[in-house]
Structure 1
């Protein structure tokens, strides 16, 4: 198996590319306006989770947030611009949670199986905790180029962290390919649970059981490699 270095995490961790002017947000400067905008963003998350992309409208967002539609249009010129602002707001929250989860996999002195278990748990927990938001986003991504490309970027960063954790186990021999293959398997399971439910293929395991099964699978695969 050919040697493969981990992707450049410093490049991937840079801020997302700027949006076209038509989709850019006019950021508020005054404290009161910033607070109102935060209410809009949080309400947008709630609306996406409850009504999906189809129900995400300026009128519904105004009702949910309690902010006048005119004030919303002062910040975002269209539903699309507003949706992408809400998307990035939620992904920032998820990135903070992701970083915290993976810090737990970086504690010194952990045995390989525990490191693997914490890395697997980080991926599955991140999806489980944010399933209601991720479900409509994943559903529209194939037809929404901006979300698709930014989703790829967030996924790549998640994969970088997963692989970096597995590299601490000592089970890899200078080739990160097995770790990336393991990430693909765990990531696919996380997406399947999010989109189709835990019992889509077989009787539903609990999340803890899924973490245990996936940890064993990755551990055995890396040792076999």
Structure 2
């Protein structure tokens, strides 16, 4: 079964735009899980433009499924995720000012650094995932780092899906097969939507989790959060 983890960053972005408490990320955490989401994803950034450090600690007691925290592995970030005991930490190579994640790790270039970070998180009992492009060498590097999983950066797939979906999905299928052969779990995320999710799901049989935020929250504006989550879950059947 492929699990759906809902990224609630956009809920926090909307809240922060008015400087108040609404919409509540705590209520969103509760409702997403009640409506069927099998995980909650957040990506706290240093400038706190959406999810804040306070949110991280306030959300944790509300998790009844899985808590996936994404971020660049700075010392502050690592201390925080270990302290709250995230179920999974997904490491991304983002700079502080980056608008959104737009590439995966060069796993060989950062091998020593990532290997130390992964070992530290695993020692704390946290499942680890590394954000990578659908590239054979990047996946092989992830195996050397001994991460539990990789998260395939799926924006290129989403961008070319409407043009040639068979070619768009091919490198992701290849990368997923290599990961499976090397004993690494496969997650996916970025720009997945109701349009393209089911096609990916049926072509990557070892896909363990998808993390979806922007498209899902946008759809919820029109259809409602409960209906939207159910529609995304239907894509994973």
TM-score (norm 1): 0.26
Q: Which has the higher helix share?
A: 1
Task: Kindly indicate which of the two structures has a greater share of residues assigned to strand.
Answer: 2
Structure with higher Rg: it is: 1
- The higher-RCO structure (CA 8 Å, 6+ apart) is 1
The alignment's TM-score, normalised by the length of structure 2, stands at 0.25
